[in-house]
Amino acid sequence: MTNGFVVRSLEEVRFWSRIMKEHSLFLKLGFRSEDTQLIQEANGFYAIFENIENKSHAYTFDVDPAVIKRFNEEVHQAVSHIWVFKRKVLGLILTCKLPGANNFPLLVDHVSREANYFRNRLAELNTGRLEPLPDAIIDENVFFLRIMADHAKFISHLLDPSERKLIEQANNFSQEFDQLLFQARDLESMRPQSQTLPLLDQFLDQNRVSVKSLRDFKKTARELIEACRIKSIIHPLLADHVFREAEHFLFIIDMFEHSLTGKPVPKMHPMD
């Protein structure tokens, strides 16, 4: 017999622990060679999250929920620590203590927001306190639309300046998602009156269309980078990382759609 809490916990930890592990690598690659202390700390976090990821895959869905509750607490601790590390790095960059390092401040802030999101998810799972559906729909979309808008900006800024066409496309996505984010914030400030079924359903439909096309753009970028067909300083793993985060957002949108309207959730994320 499978338990909903166990399934949701393991799925969440499997997805986000890999993300946290990769953040450690990206941060490390952006430090200067003399920042040995920071590089060591990043390596430490890589090992911690790799271990958590392995453990999360070793558990099966029929494990005792009490075991997963303790596991979630352990992961929560580790995520709190990497959040502190990311905010420390942000502080060092913004006070010009790391001149010449290669992590954008917005990227460091971005990865710390993702850590904070993961930490909140773990706390929600363990306490069993979930937001009412209409609030969750608005809050999750506000969070992920900003994440998507940031991704478009990172891609634009990490492409070689000579890749004019691709930069233009990335900038268009950046604008599109900034606009969607503002719309989401408008819906947020109009609540609870804005939380009608037709408005929330339309909100999800509109966001899904844009996330799908951004997801496809990221997929193309990833393939071009892997085949060495474009000039950039984007790590192939970063291209894959932002692609997976878009897929995750699409999955969340479909889950909400299902809860809202009863429409079936596709099992995998079909490429359409």
How many residues form the binding site for Fe ion (CB under 5 A)? 3
Q: Which is nearer to Fe ion, 19 or 187 (CB)?
A: 19
Task: Specify whether the backbone of 138 is left (phi greater than 0), alpha (psi in -120 to 50) or beta.
Answer: alpha
Residue given tokens 């006070």 in the structure block: 95
Q: How many residues does the chain have?
A: 272
Q: Select the span of 31-39, 97-105, 111-119, 120-128 touching Fe ion (CB under 5 A).
A: 111-119
Instruction: Enumerate residues 156-175 that contact Fe ion by CB under 5 A.
Output: none
Contact track, Fe ion, 12-31, x by CB under 5 A: -------x------------
* Closest CB 75 distance from Fe ion, rounded Å: 16
3-state secondary structure of 232: strand
* Closest CB 107 distance from Fe ion, rounded Å: 9
Instruction: Enumerate residues 216-255 that contact Fe ion by CB under 5 A.
Output: 245
Instruction: Enumerate residues 112-151 that contact Fe ion by CB under 5 A.
Output: 114
Q: Which is nearer to Fe ion, 144 or 203 (CB)?
A: 144
Quote the CA–CA distance of 151 and 169 in Å, as a whole number.
Answer: 13
Environment class of residue 159 by beta-carbon count within 10 Å: exposed (0-12), middle (13-18) or buried (19+)? buried
* Closest CB 247 distance from Fe ion, rounded Å: 12
Q: Are 233 and 158 in contact (CB under 8 A)?
A: yes
Quote the CA–CA distance of 75 and 154 in Å, as a whole number.
Answer: 28
- State the residues that interact with Fe ion by CB under 5 A: 19, 114, 245
